[in-house]
Chains A and B, each alone.
Chain A
Amino acid sequence: MVQRYGLDIAGGAEYHCRLVAEHMARHAQVEVITTCAADYITWANHYPEGVETLNGIPVRRFRVKRPRDPDRFADWSERVFRAGADTEAQLKWLEEEGPFSPRLVRHVERHRADHDFFVFFSYRYYSTYHGLRAVADKALLVPTAEDDGVYRLPLFPPLFRMPRAIVYNSVEERGMIQRASGNQAVAGEVVGVGSALPAGLDPDGFRARHGIEGPFGLYVGRIDENKGCRQLFDFFGRYRQQTGSPLRLLLIGKAVLPIPRDPAVVHLGFVSDQEKWDALAASDLLFMPSRLESLSMVTLEAWWAGRPVLANGKCEVLRGQCLRSNAGLYYTSYDEFVEALGLLEGDPGLRLTLGRNGRRYFEENYAWDVIEAKYLRLLRAAGAAAAPVAV
């Protein structure tokens, strides 16, 4: 169960869900229940309602009854997050957040006997909240929670105590949710997600195709202030000015923030998956400037490609990942950014070792056989749990 699903939906919990569904289909019969939405801002109906098959997985879509009105949602968010709003107001906020699809919830409720388990992705949406409550004794939750405070809204801690099991993305996410909800009694494991790995890498081809020479750091994802890109542009510009470094910054992804007019900053826009992997392999390092991440798949992908990461240390998850893997440095201020980037840029041996550590970390924790085994273990534990989970 996920709020959007499609082959053209990149990144985030939706892509995470698709990868898990496609891999778990080797062990079980999998059906995806989702909405007709493609746009996460409005949830406007885009795909036709009904069942279609994507990469061998049946996908059952339900129409969104009312698309999200961003202004009204902003009004309700203000009301709910500023004052001590009552449950009714929080539920109204959830409805405004969407995707508001009561038919999907009704379907889940009516067909509870048709499935052994329901795996819900992303705790914060209307569809997950009401769907999970309808089939809590058969539910597994993949919260994909970020440290943005939403999970502390009084509505959610009880939700984290309801499912049979929780599939966490990181040690930090588990700690955060357990502190907020006291759900230690619910079975849970840090699992995360693997990646659709490429058959091969062609870094030289990438450089030749885009005419890129010399060292470069890469950013992959939506180019957005919320992803820390404004700060990255600022820090990177100042770093180059201060040190005279020849390093360039390559950006892959949709820009919703103006790109600096600097020849050292190159925006490639959307590229294919293979091109992204080639870019990772050609890069000297990956920048991960986001402060709110529940896992960061691209960080794991950079590690698989043997590249070190320079991450925003204010994101507890990224900092924890860097420390556990010994495969990336992090910064919490401009001074740290300068020192860490200078160190990475000036020491190819260090980059190589960090990259090697990253690859090892990926293989040990995020290879698909590891992920699938963890899911199967959790499903078995959820199936074996005799007593209903206390809420």
Chain B
Amino acid sequence: MSFEIRSDQVDVEEIMRQIRKRIEEKRQGLYSDDEIREIAERRLDAVLDAHEFNSDFIADFRSEAAGWNFQFNPETVYRSSRGGVGALLERTRRLLRPIQKLFWNPSPMIAALSRQSDLNRYYVHLLHNLAVELTRLNLELQDLKNRNLQLQGRLELQERREKTLEDMVVYRTDAEQKGGSGGQGGA
């Protein structure tokens, strides 16, 4: 580590300050993972706000899947949330299940909705990661562009210096040659 800590007298607050300082020094303009994530989310916010999406939309997606995705399993269609009456209703529905299967087959619908629920979760996960990754790439691209410009600037400066030095060398050689012949002539 670049900083030393006197082991006999430890101040955690001071160590953490030094750690943060060291990270700042290391980073030198680069973004941390957390910052990239934050920027990605902020950019997405801006895009969605522009299209007048519900302001809770992003927060919902960042929260638990239960907050925005529908929960579906083979029992969902038979369930009720009406307390004691609901329990009775659930039992009746289960009892009548074989009879209702005479009229239609709910299995394909149950399978499709279960699959869809899973897919929704995967898509959101994928989209979120893609947004983060795209932001990371954008930032890296921006950083590379900046470095390219810096290098171009340095190169131009070096070229100018090189040219100046070459001119100086030519000038000095000419002057020395002239000075040398003059001296000889004077002796």
Interface residues of A (CB under 8 A from B): 71-72, 74-78, 82, 92, 313, 322-323, 325-330, 332-336, 339-340, 342-343, 346-347, 349-350, 352-354, 357
Name the residue on A nearest B5 (C-beta). Answer: A350
Q: Is B1 an interface residue (CB 8 A)?
A: yes
For B15, the chain A residues whose CB sits under 8 A away are 329, 343
A-B CB proximity, top 6 nearest: A349-B7, A339-B19, A335-B23, A333-B34, A353-B10, A353-B7
A350 to B9, CA, bound (A): 9
Q: Is B161 an interface residue (CB 8 A)?
A: no
A23 to B34, CA, bound (A): 45
Question: Quick check: A353 and B8 within 8 Å, CB to CB?
Answer: yes
Contact with A along B9-26 (1 / 0, CB 8 A): 111110110011011001
Question: Provided the pairs A339-B23, A350-B7 are in contact, do residues A333 and B71 lie with their beta carbons within 8 angstroms?
Answer: no
Q: Is B152 an interface residue (CB 8 A)?
A: no
Question: Provided the pairs A323-B13, A329-B16 are in contact, do residues A346 and B32 lie with their beta carbons within 8 angstroms?
Answer: no
Cross-chain pairs A/B with CB under 8 angstroms, 6 sampled? A333-B32, A336-B20, A339-B23, A353-B7, A353-B8, A353-B9
For B23, the chain A residues whose CB sits under 8 A away are 335-336, 339
Give B13 Cβ to nearest chain A Cβ, in Å.
Answer: 6
Question: Quick check: A323 and B12 within 8 Å, CB to CB?
Answer: yes
Contact with A along B64-89 (1 / 0, CB 8 A): 00110001000100010101000000
Q: Is B33 an interface residue (CB 8 A)?
A: yes
Question: Provided the pairs A74-B71, A357-B10 are in contact, do residues A342 and B79 lie with their beta carbons within 8 angstroms?
Answer: no
For A77, the chain B residues whose CB sits under 8 A away are 66
Give A159 Cβ to nearest chain B Cβ, in Å.
Answer: 23
Main secondary structure of the interface of B (DSSP, over half): helix
For B22, the chain A residues whose CB sits under 8 A away are 339
A76 to B33, CA, bound (A): 35
For B32, the chain A residues whose CB sits under 8 A away are 333-335
Question: Quick check: B11 and A326 within 8 Å, CB to CB?
Answer: yes
Question: Quick check: B79 and A71 within 8 Å, CB to CB?
Answer: yes
Question: Provided the pairs A336-B19, A339-B23, A352-B7 are in contact, do residues A326 and B12 lie with their beta carbons within 8 angstroms?
Answer: yes
A71 to B70, CA, bound (A): 12
Question: Quick check: B33 and A334 within 8 Å, CB to CB?
Answer: yes
Question: Provided the pairs A75-B81, A349-B7, A353-B7 are in contact, do residues A322 and B12 lie with their beta carbons within 8 angstroms?
Answer: yes
A354 to B19, CA, bound (A): 16
Question: Quick check: B10 and A326 within 8 Å, CB to CB?
Answer: yes
Name the residue on B nearest A335 (C-beta). Answer: B23
For A74, the chain B residues whose CB sits under 8 A away are 66, 71
For A350, the chain B residues whose CB sits under 8 A away are 5, 7, 10
For B67, the chain A residues whose CB sits under 8 A away are 78, 82
Question: Quick check: A346 and B1 within 8 Å, CB to CB?
Answer: yes
Cβ 8 A contact of A72, one of B5, B11, B81: B81
Contact with A along B107-146 (1 / 0, CB 8 A): 0000000000000000000000000000000000000000
For B27, the chain A residues whose CB sits under 8 A away are 335
For B1, the chain A residues whose CB sits under 8 A away are 339, 342-343, 346-347
